[in-house]
Amino acid sequence: MRLRAEKRIDSPAWMPAVTAALSVLLAFAAGGVFLYAQGVSPFEAYASILKSAFGSGYDLSETAVKALPLAIVSLAVMLCFTMLVWNIGAEGQALVGALAAAAMVRYFPLESKPAMLSLMALAAMLAGGVWAGAAGLLKAKWNVNEIITTLMLNYIAIRLLEYFVYGPWRDPSSLGFPMTSRFIDSARLPALWGTRIHMGIYALFFLTVVMEVLLKRTRFGYEIRVTGDNARAARYAGMDYVRKVAGVMFLSGAIAGFAGMCEVSGLQGRLQAGFSAQYGYTAIIVAWLAHLRPSLSLVIAFLMGALLVGGEALQISMGLPMASASILQGLILFFVLGGEFFQNYRVRLDFSRVGRARRSRGDI
């Protein structure tokens, strides 16, 4: 007797949803075991996460506040992942986007809100785009591993931000806190509905529709999917690999940069050290869980936003490190990856005679 895996010919339509739900459930179970081993009551911890993320209308709005940048950044990485180009640097691209937006506020302050905001968005997208596009160009031209370059650029972006907020841009009245002074009014994205949710949410909906159409309905989308499936075939078909990779990376970085601008302009109203709370990495999970589908990523981003809010709640109410939430993120990703296997394969016990005979001949 042994376990055998057989490829499924067809899988029922409900399979993906059920596997996904089961994977998340198992991840929480495994996370619970880990928490318990650490002397933390998993029930208390999970209750605290649920309550802080979904407990009241205000809590729901705070979850949406966290989900907003996550969703935008996940659209950014999705674009690259479709092409099997691994942009792990959305974090850094968002940071330099925020940095560029803040630079505009500092050096070119404008009275008119639309003008100021457009200028900031433009600068942020350009900065994020260049930050990612550079890595894309190196990848396309000389096959420099983009995972490494985008990641290293994250660390560099963090230091760059620190340089400005600790140094030349520090608000003299901030009592030594590493932050710039408050942005002028025209540089703030207005908040909506009496919550901290800001106008960026309209941009998110717009971008989601654009991405959905772009990936599924345009020649451009088709070409990047083909390049992802088979770069060599794409090249033979006359698609310009270098331009495609560098261009997609630029676009991806521009979207991430825009997300960074939304954060500082809509939420914080100033630039400060360590503002992004690892959105760039979490967005990668969102993109993967959403099977690289833009519309689905809205939902997943909301759920992941809940986990981030919950992580903060764990820190405040139970004194656990903020990073504890990333245990669950990692576990969810593990189980989802594992679950994909069971979607494609059927596992069963093999009692058959043939199996035994082949085994005894030693060819299994």
Partner 1 sequence: METLLSILAAAVRSGTPILYATLGEILTEKAGVMNLGLEGIMLMGALSGFAASLSTGSPWLGLAAAFGVGACLGLIHAFLSVTLGSNQVVCGLAMTMFGGGASALAGRGYIGMTTPGIGAWEIPLVSKLPIAGRMLFSQDVMVYASYVLAVFLMFFLSRTRPGMNLRAAGDNPKAADAMGLPVARIRYLYTIIGAGLVALGGAYMSLVYNKFWAEGMTAGRGWIAVAMVIFAIWNPLRAMLGAYLFGGVEAFQLRLQAAGASVPAPLLMMLPYLMTILVLLFISVGKGRKLSLSAPSALGIPFYREERE
Footprint of partner 1 (CB under 8 A): 5, 34-35, 38, 40, 86, 88, 138, 142-145, 147-149, 151-153, 155-156, 159-160, 162-163, 166-167, 281, 284-285, 288, 319-331, 333-334, 337-338, 340-341
CA geometry: angle 217, 219, 222, nearest 5 deg:
75
DSSP, collapsed to helix, strand or coil, labels residue 300 as helix
Measure the CA–CA gap between 338 and 34, rounded to whole angstroms.
Answer: 19
Measure the CA–CA gap between 280 and 78, rounded to whole angstroms.
Answer: 12
Shorter beta-carbon distance to partner 1: residue 212 or 340 = 340
For 257-272, give the DSSP string.
Answer: HHHHHHIIIIIISS-B
Least distance from C-beta 279 to partner 1, angstroms?
A: 13
Shorter beta-carbon distance to partner 1: residue 100 or 151 = 151
Longest dimension (CA), the chain: 83
Least distance from C-beta 332 to partner 1, angstroms?
A: 8
Shorter beta-carbon distance to partner 1: residue 158 or 199 = 158
Shorter beta-carbon distance to partner 1: residue 60 or 320 = 320
Shorter beta-carbon distance to partner 1: residue 26 or 192 = 26
Output the six-digit token pair for 343. Answer: 């979607």
Shorter beta-carbon distance to partner 1: residue 26 or 147 = 147
Least distance from C-beta 82 to partner 1, angstroms?
A: 13
CA geometry: angle 334, 305, 311, nearest 5 deg:
75
Least distance from C-beta 115 to partner 1, angstroms?
A: 32
**Residues forming beta bridges with residue 4, ordered by sequence position:** 348
End-to-end CA distance of the chain: 12
Measure the CA–CA gap between 333 and 49, rounded to whole angstroms.
Answer: 19
Least distance from C-beta 203 to partner 1, angstroms?
A: 27
Least distance from C-beta 135 to partner 1, angstroms?
A: 9
